[in-house]
Chain A
Amino acid sequence: MTLERVESEITGNVWKIEVKPGDKVEAEDVIMILESMKMEIPVEAPCAGTIKEILVSEEDAVDEDQVLATIES
């Protein structure tokens, strides 16, 4: 079993979190939606697995490369 990190590609704010720890996800499922310079940007699961941790909350500011969640695959 490996732990995959879900990272943000951009600087922005967390608008909506779509999953919770324990949820099963497929690769490319939307984990959360970020808002950055008016854009609604999806953060997708890099692989299939189970959400281990969500490391941010809605309305949090996030930076490029910040780890937003982890997935056990």
Chain B
Amino acid sequence: MKAAVLREANIPMEIEEVQISKPGPREVLVRPIAAGVCHSDLHFMDGSYPYMLPTILGHESAGVVEQVGSDVTYVKKGDHVITCLSAFCGHCNKCLTGHLSLCNSPEVSRKAEEAPRIAQGSDTIHQFLNLSSFAELMLIHEHALVKVREDMPMDRAALIGCSTTTGVGAVFHTAKVEPGSTVAVIGCGGVGLAAINGAALAGAARIIAVDMVDSKLELAKSVGATDIVNASSGNAVGEVIEMTQGGCDYTFEAIGLKATAEQSFQMLCPGGVATIIGMIPPGTMVELQGVDFLSEKKIQGSNMGSNRFRVDMPRFVDFYLDGKLHLDQMISKHIKLNEINEALTALKSGQEARHIIMFD
């Protein structure tokens, strides 16, 4: 099969011929139909996050089941599925206490001594986040996918695989936004826009979108933002505090920078909660004013929207088909696999929302 292989950070990926293994007892072979290009792929492409190389990036996809392993009963050939990197084992302490997205069990990957899922001749190609969706086929654990309705368009379904689940989930599950509250979202890419849409669904009274690109702020309004702040003025914190007369109940950082993580805490009102979604590079420290804890301000992380994706994703599909989740405007362009490098360059500029790879 063909795949976009990353051999070195910051060196454009080439489309190469690689081999995919046969499904083990609990594995499923999926033919992706659509795959989104997320900023997390970019963090690994540009080396700000380390990863074993060579690898095949991509982790936001939807497709059709091609073949199932001998013990798989949940799906069959032909089923439509969305994949998710939050593969869960189902029996560790995290899983059993309802925190499936924090499952860290190694059993959803192959063991170090087993043949790798993806290879090129005798060389291992490291699977990215147990998925690797910038490829014509994906071999994944059965707990890394969910079955969905067949009337759901595949390109929109792919978005649910990461950005929607991350943004809406951060609002619903991690922060548990209360109806009537005030929310600010810093960064209006695929994830931030999903958080804005989620806040609107949760009944937030005021939703302030913060970005440096005007077209992103316009998109934010179309998915539920009530107010916008262009951060290029350099005073986003002051503007948000003034607009809300003292700060927000909930803020979300959806970029992955130290500065904006600190701003998300500074924008809170007493008792408010900042949720950091962006991937801040390892080794980076985030600094807060200690005195702010006296007013019960809180800060927390969110991984993949604290999801229970087998339950959440079919609900998000229904939300889209009922017109509540605005996924159409999230897609700025449909591309082919061989345009992946250009898509990542465009993402870096912040000018565009999601690019979706469509497979033939």
B112 interface residue, CB < 8 Å from A? yes
Q: A10-B282, A38-B85 are in contact. Are A33 and B106 (CB under 8 A)?
A: no
CA distance A39 to B303 in the complex (A): 13
Shortest Cβ distance from B283 into A: residue = A9
Contacts of B87 in A (CB 8 A): 38
CA distance A35 to B110 in the complex (A): 12
Within 8 A of A (CB), among B102-136: 104, 106, 109, 112, 126-127, 129-130
Q: Say whether A13 contacts B104, CB under 8 Å.
A: yes
Q: Say whether B85 contacts A42, CB under 8 Å.
A: no
Q: Say whether B106 contacts A39, CB under 8 Å.
A: no
A30 interface residue, CB < 8 Å from B? yes
Q: Say whether A40 contacts B126, CB under 8 Å.
A: yes
Q: Say whether A39 contacts B51, CB under 8 Å.
A: yes
Q: How close is B212's CB to chain A, nearest CB, in angstroms?
A: 28
Shortest Cβ distance from A61 into B: residue = B104
A52 interface residue, CB < 8 Å from B? no
B90 interface residue, CB < 8 Å from A? no
Contacts of B104 in A (CB 8 A): 12-13, 35-37
Contacts of B49 in A (CB 8 A): 39
Within 8 A of B (CB), among A24-67: 30, 33, 35-42, 58-59
Shortest Cβ distance from A44 into B: residue = B50
Q: Say whether B51 contacts A42, CB under 8 Å.
A: yes
Q: How close is B338's CB to chain A, nearest CB, in angstroms?
A: 25
Q: Which of B50, B109, B283 contacts A41 (CB 8 A)?
A: B50
CA distance A13 to B109 in the complex (A): 13
B52 interface residue, CB < 8 Å from A? yes
Shortest Cβ distance from B86 into A: residue = A38
A16 interface residue, CB < 8 Å from B? yes
Q: Which of A30, A35, A58 contacts B109 (CB 8 A)?
A: A35
Q: A9-B283, A10-B282, A13-B104 are in contact. Are A41 and B51 (CB under 8 A)?
A: yes
> Interface extent on A, as a size class?
10 to 19
Number of interface residues of B (CB under 8 A): 20
CA distance A38 to B106 in the complex (A): 8
Contacts of A12 in B (CB 8 A): 104
Contacts of B106 in A (CB 8 A): 13, 15, 35, 59
Q: Say whether A42 contacts B50, CB under 8 Å.
A: yes
Shortest Cβ distance from B126 into A: residue = A40
By CB atoms of chain B within 10 A, which of A9, A36, A38 has the most? Answer: A38
By CB atoms of chain B within 10 A, which of A15, A33, A40, A41 has the most? Answer: A40
Contacts of A37 in B (CB 8 A): 104, 303
Q: Say whether B52 contacts A40, CB under 8 Å.
A: yes
Q: Say whether A33 contacts B283, CB under 8 Å.
A: no
Contacts of B127 in A (CB 8 A): 40
Q: A15-B112, A35-B106 are in contact. Are A42 and B282 (CB under 8 A)?
A: no
CA distance A35 to B97 in the complex (A): 22
Q: How close is A43's CB to chain B, nearest CB, in angstroms?
A: 9
CA distance A38 to B55 in the complex (A): 14
CA distance A42 to B106 in the complex (A): 16
Mark B122-166 against chain A: 1 for CB-CB distance below 8 A, else 0. 000011011000000000000000000000000000000000000
CA distance A12 to B282 in the complex (A): 13
Q: How close is A11's CB to chain B, nearest CB, in angstroms?
A: 10
Contacts of A35 in B (CB 8 A): 104, 106, 109
Q: Say whether A41 contacts B52, CB under 8 Å.
A: yes
Contacts of B50 in A (CB 8 A): 9, 41-42
**Listed A/B pairs (12) with beta-carbon separation below 8 Å:** A9-B50, A9-B282, A12-B104, A15-B106, A16-B112, A35-B104, A35-B106, A38-B87, A39-B129, A40-B55, A41-B52, A42-B51
Other contacts beyond A15-B112, A33-B52, A41-B52: 5, CB < 8 A? A10-B282, A35-B106, A37-B303, A39-B129, A42-B52
Give the 3 A-B CB pairs with smallest separation, nearest first.
A16-B112, A40-B52, A9-B282
List A residues at the B interface (Cβ < 8 Å). 9-10, 12-13, 15-16, 30, 33, 35-42, 58-59
